[in-house]
Structure 1
Amino acid sequence: MTPERFRTIVDAYGADPRRWPDEERAAAEAWADLHRSEADAVLAESASLDAWLTSHTIAPPERSFVDRIVATAPARHPRKPRTRLWWQGAAFAGIGLAGGLAGAFAVSFFVLTGTPPQVHESSSYLTSSFGGSSVDWSGE
């Protein structure tokens, strides 16, 4: 336990050791016993703040005030059934199933017929400025 950590604990939790964290209470009390004058100064400073905070009370609200708040609060709407969420999930699963079936049909068609799909190599509409051009301009 360091003096800085002891001050941090007292500043955060007050002068009463019962409020200090359980895992640091023993070490803080042992440090305070070894450094009594320094610990007493820190504890006295915090004790005055603790006393002020303890003396501060808040009166409960008047019943008319509570009634006004409740009267102006929005009404609770009954919860909607979760059927909409269920339909959204079913639609999502159906779309995925349809895509999987379309892909399986396309693959099986090409496997059964033995003809691979036609690939147009170096077509001008398939090239980009990053992949080069199919036109040879070296002769000019």
Structure 2
Amino acid sequence: MTPERFRTIVDAYGADPRRWPDEERAAAESWADLHRIEADAMLAESANLDAWLADHTVAPPERALIERVVAAAPNRRPVKHRVRLWWQGAAFAGIGLAGGLAGAFAVSFFVMTGQPPQTHDSPSYLASSFDGSGVDWSGE
């Protein structure tokens, strides 16, 4: 424990050792015991501030202030609106699930039959440059 660290602890947490950090309390108290005059001066400065802060109280808010704050708060949406949003979300999730199942069914159909779809017989608008078709778009 250094004098600078002791001052930092006293300035931050006050003169009462019960408020000091647990992991540094023993070291700070032992430093204060070894350097009693210097520690007492630092603790006296902080004790005055601690006493002033302990005496200071904040008055509870007036009823009119509470009513103004509550009146200015935004209104919550009615339960009916939240339920409608929940159903819309559930419908969206259901549509996504149905699409996923349809895709899984199509893929499993081709895997089970062992026959991939014939792309060379497909119309030119279904062809792409990756399917190996002989469709040449350069002439158009």
TM-score range, shorter chain: 0.5 to 0.7
Partner amino acid for 2:52? Answer: W
1:53 aligned partner: 53
1:70 to 60, 67, 70: 67
1:120 is displaced (CA, Å) by: 4.4
Tell me the TM-score normalized by structure 2: 0.63
1:121 is displaced (CA, Å) by: 5.3
- CA gap of 1:60–1:99, structure 2 versus 1, over 3 A, is closer
Q: Which moved more, 1:108-117 or 1:85-94?
A: 108-117
- Provide the rounded CA distance (Å) in 2 between the counterparts of 1:34 and 1:123: 93
Structure 2 portions without partners, runs of 5+: 120-130
2:115 is aligned with 1:114: yes
1:19 is displaced (CA, Å) by: 2.3
Q: How many positions carry a matched residue from both structures?
A: 123
1:103 is displaced (CA, Å) by: 1.0
- CA gap of 1:8–1:121, structure 2 versus 1, over 3 A, is farther
- CA gap of 1:113–1:47, structure 2 versus 1, over 3 A, is closer
1:29 is displaced (CA, Å) by: 1.0
Identity score, percent: 71
Cα root mean square deviation, aligned: 3.3
Trace 1:1-140 onto structure 2 (pairs within 5 A).
1-61=1-61, 65-67=62-64, 69-70=66-67, 73-74=70-71, 77=76, 80=79, 82-111=82-111, 112=113, 114-118=115-119, 119-120=131-132
Cα deviation 1:41-70 (Å, max 9, x = unaligned): 211221222232233334445xxx414532
- Provide the rounded CA distance (Å) in 2 between the counterparts of 1:123 and 1:34: 93
Partner amino acid for 1:9? Answer: I
Structure 1 portions without partners, runs of 5+: 126-133, 135-140
